[in-house]
Structure 1
Amino acid sequence: MAPERVFVIGVGMSKFIKPRGKVDYTEFGLEASVKALNDAGLSYDDIQFAACGYVFADSTAGQRVLYQLGMTQIPIINVNNNCSTGSTALLQARNAVASGSVECAMALGFERMASGSLGAVFSDRTNPLDHVGTVMFSERGATNAPYAAQIFGNAGIAYMEKHGATPRHLAKIAEKNHRHSSNNPYSQFQTIYTLEEIEESPNVFGPLTKLQCCPTSDGAGCVIVCNESFVVKHGLVDQAVEIASQVMATDSPRMLSKDGIEWAGSDMTRRAASEAFKKAGITPNDVQVVELHDCFSANELLTYDALGLTPPGKAHTLIDSGDNTYGGKYVINPSGGLISKGHPLGATGLAQCTELVWQIRGWAGDRQVPNVEYALQHNVGLGGAVVITIYKRGQVNQPKPLTRYNPGCEARYITREDFEKAASKPENRAAFFESKL
């Protein structure tokens, strides 16, 4: 039996903010899930399965968030897949619908992070990235810089050595993404910087300066998916965005080669992208907008190549031609990307999906990419896993928001009325979780 077609019918996210410990993950998660349900015009009673992604929280944190909406006894699974956690949750929700197991599913991702650079949580057991560290340090040596910055920075250095890109190309990527974020009300940072300001900001590692590195962030994102019959039954044809293909891949042995480009997981991106384009029946030339995992500017450079947006070794030519921004062939990271929008690990993949859905619907306001037919999402986590998702416009016909405002242009917080529309019927609610909205 052929798999069910799967559509995104509801998206929502919180504003991404600096991790100051003032808002708990339960509040972020509730905000994003209520917004996604309101966007779809559904209540939590319509959800038959939920996958919840996070990295820095205890077990069953997903249940703790969703019980605020109701205790409906649906399956809830919790996902941790490093920086690709959010899109891994989306993959689980999509698979549940595609398999025919359920008609409607939710993917929720949230994170409450500590300030400063990421580090190992446990010191008494094997680090899951020890393999790449062993190879990298033997080839390039070790410094006191953050571990992830060394991996991606060294990968960028290797690309420059091999193919002729320069540190200025990396700075231009960051300049673009900070500029894009100025039109995104959900972005942690909305400041426009000159190329010189980016190059002269404090050095982090190698060619990478502070303004070329994503910040730690708090926030949440949520996506609701369903099958075609559910779309029709609920009158959501105009706003339903089809997932044309979705592929996850993990590392090949090339990751442990002496080629530093591979230490950042480029080969798994090549594999997943190739399969995703094949399954969608399109090529990179058919895509108009891309949300790409730019945890560091170096990774955006590497990923142009790995996704097939440029010929091998020619990623920097996309920058030189202006084909990575408005007016060019692609608009890459219209949201501002991780560098400027922020990177709450569990939420990132779902925030990427949210942005692309708004772009396809035509709701993105001043950051709108014209005439979007196909959108591409790339979300990667070291260790490793990458999820590539291709979204298709389908029958989307400039729908008007079902909410009282356009969420693509305004980052409003939820109200009690929003919550009541989204929550389960009263008999499925517990007094302990009564909303304080």
Structure 2
Amino acid sequence: MKAYVVGVGMTRFEKPETREWQYWDMAKEAGTHALRDAGIAYSDVRQVPVGHCFQASTAGQRAAYELGLTGVPVYNVNNNCATGASALMLARQFVEGGISDCVLALGFEKMKRGALGDGADGGDFATSPVARHYGIMAARHGFEMSPPTAQIFGDAAREHMERYGTTEAQLAAVGAKNHRHSAHNPYAQFQDVYGVDEVLASRAVHRPLTKLQCSPTSDGAAAAVVVSERFAEERGLGGRAVEIVAQAMTTDTEESFASGSCIDVVGQPMSREAARQVYERAGLGIHDVDVVELHDCFSINELLTYEALGMCGEGESGKLVESGATTYGGRWVVNPSGGLISKGHPLGATGIAQVAELVWQLRGEAGERQVADARVGLAHNIGLGGAAVVTLLRAARD
């Protein structure tokens, strides 16, 4: 059974403590927009998977209750930075499996200012779920005082530079591109445009990464209504439907740790395998894709993901971004929303927000950031610890 996204919504992503609102207020805003976009009522929804990382156990129920008290099952999902896409994957599985005809995927986060910690939630670092990952990093690069997530990705960037000759300017080109894209996104946390030199000159976080190459902490929410083909036809939603052609989630394998490389530890093997599964199931490849929303938590991860998705060969991603192939006028437009670096990164909402952007692009509703003639979109959402989710979407008019 096919699954379709027929409604999406999100809040603006904002710096924590910008607004006096609670996570349930964010979820209500995003969920209401998604239901309205689909033209349905909350009473039509039969399941609600809800993604969040930093709220309490049943925060999903507290948020969903703002949309209605209908008694439907609510599931709390936490998969680190891949949480939003994980909630969406559950929604798709409910529909494709014939369990429910209409499912609402919600994701939200109310975060604290400052860099993310080590995943131990204030406890002993040794008990952190990502202690194995940081152990690989420390064995090769040591452990410094910079934020641990920036450090592990920054060390992956150093390895990429040493191994392939990638330059700091190529890394900065990712940040410059995504900040430029976000200037036309009203939902983005940042809408300022920076050149490569300005990105390079911004404050160092963990060399070679600078502040304008790092995603910020953010408050925000996103939602998507996923329905069956039958439901879409009965409600006359076919013209607004976007098909989830294929989707895959992978977790770490021995490959992630065997090499002792931060490039592998931060998830490139997971991403590569998820993409392979999606292409195989869909009968499509990266060269059929027009627009991509990928997980640029740091500029290096965008480059690593180009390679994992097959957009270029191993080690060629720096040259790819430098060539202009991943922006308007190039082969693909990557992160037209501004990506995590500029749109923002409220962990539980990020993966669903990526799909919201792709739905708008594939419907031709993205305004000034519209990718011309977009028919096929790909979303990539990854979390350390680890999970990688790749989703392939196609416009219903195809």
SS of 1:245's partner is strand
Aligned to 1:216: 217
Aligned to 1:301: 303
Aligned to 2:123: 123
TM-score by length of 1: 0.89
One-letter code aligned to 2:152: I
- How much is the aligned-residue C-alpha RMSD, in angstroms? 1.0
Deviation (angstroms), 1:59: 1.1
Task: Give distance in 1, aligned partners of 2:157 and 2:256.
Answer: 14
Aligned to 1:107: 105
Please say which structure displays the higher CA radius of gyration. Answer: 1
267, 288, 291: which one aligns with 1:289: 291
Deviation (angstroms), 1:371: 0.8
Deviation (angstroms), 1:109: 0.2
Task: Give distance in 2, aligned partners of 1:283 and 1:80.
Answer: 29
Task: Give distance in 2, aligned partners of 1:89 and 1:258.
Answer: 31
- The answer to whether the 8 A contact 2:49-2:76 is kept is yes
358, 366, 373: which one aligns with 2:375: 373
- The answer to whether the 8 A contact 1:152-1:263 is kept is no
One-letter code aligned to 2:335: N
Aligned to 2:312: 310
Deviation (angstroms), 1:141: 1.0
The number of aligned residues is: 393
Q: Once the two structures are superposed, what CA deviation does each residue of 1:283-329 show, in whole Å capped at 9, x if it has no partner?
A: 11110100010000011011100111112221122112210100000
- The answer to whether the 8 A contact 1:156-1:302 is kept is no
- The answer to whether the 8 A contact 2:8-2:35 is kept is yes
One-letter code aligned to 2:280: K
Structure 1: gaps spanning 5 or more residues: 397-437
- The answer to whether the 8 A contact 1:85-1:347 is kept is yes
Deviation (angstroms), 1:275: 0.5
Aligned to 2:74: 76
SS of 1:238's partner is helix
Q: Once the two structures are superposed, what CA deviation does each residue of 1:59-111 show, in whole Å capped at 9, x if it has no partner?
A: 11111111122211111100000000000000001100010001010100000
Task: Give distance in 2, aligned partners of 1:134 and 1:312.
Answer: 25
Deviation (angstroms), 1:164: 1.6
SS of 1:109's partner is strand
One-letter code aligned to 1:76: V
Taking the TM superposition and a 5 Å limit, the aligned residue runs for 1:377-416 are: 377-395=379-397
Aligned to 2:4: 7
Deviation (angstroms), 1:259: 2.3
Task: Give distance in 2, aligned partners of 1:161 and 1:260.
Answer: 13
Aligned to 1:146: 147
Does 2:331 correspond to 1:333?
A: no
Aligned to 2:87: 89
SS of 1:376's partner is strand
21, 26, 29: which one aligns with 1:28: 26
Deviation (angstroms), 1:194: 1.8
Aligned to 2:261: 259
Deviation (angstroms), 1:192: 0.4
Task: Give distance in 1, aligned partners of 2:285 and 2:151.
Answer: 32
Task: Give distance in 2, aligned partners of 1:131 and 1:277.
Answer: 30
Aligned-pair identity in percent equals: 50
- The answer to whether the 8 A contact 2:136-2:262 is kept is no
- The answer to whether the 8 A contact 1:255-1:262 is kept is yes
4+ residue runs of structure 1 moved beyond 6 angstroms? Answer: none
Task: Give distance in 2, aligned partners of 1:42 and 1:260.
Answer: 45
One-letter code aligned to 2:151: Q
Task: Give distance in 2, aligned partners of 1:123 and 1:320.
Answer: 42
SS of 1:226's partner is strand
Task: Give distance in 1, aligned partners of 2:375 and 2:187.
Answer: 24
Task: Give distance in 2, aligned partners of 1:60 and 1:132.
Answer: 28
59, 62, 65: which one aligns with 1:64: 62
- The answer to whether the 8 A contact 2:137-2:261 is kept is no
Deviation (angstroms), 1:205: 0.3
Deviation (angstroms), 1:394: 2.8
- The answer to whether the 8 A contact 1:156-1:301 is kept is no
SS of 2:345's partner is coil
SS of 1:301's partner is helix
Q: Once the two structures are superposed, what CA deviation does each residue of 1:151-170 show, in whole Å capped at 9, x if it has no partner?
A: 11111111121112111101
Q: Once the two structures are superposed, what CA deviation does each residue of 1:193-245 show, in whole Å capped at 9, x if it has no partner?
A: 12111100110001000010000000000000011010100001111000000
SS of 2:341's partner is helix
Aligned to 2:164: 163
- The answer to whether the 8 A contact 2:136-2:261 is kept is no
One-letter code aligned to 2:40: L
Task: Give distance in 2, aligned partners of 1:129 and 1:343.
Answer: 19
Aligned to 1:320: 322
TM-score by length of 2: 0.97
Task: Give distance in 1, aligned partners of 2:252 and 2:127.
Answer: 18
- The answer to whether the 8 A contact 2:23-2:109 is kept is yes
Aligned to 2:251: 250
Task: Give distance in 2, aligned partners of 1:19 and 1:320.
Answer: 33
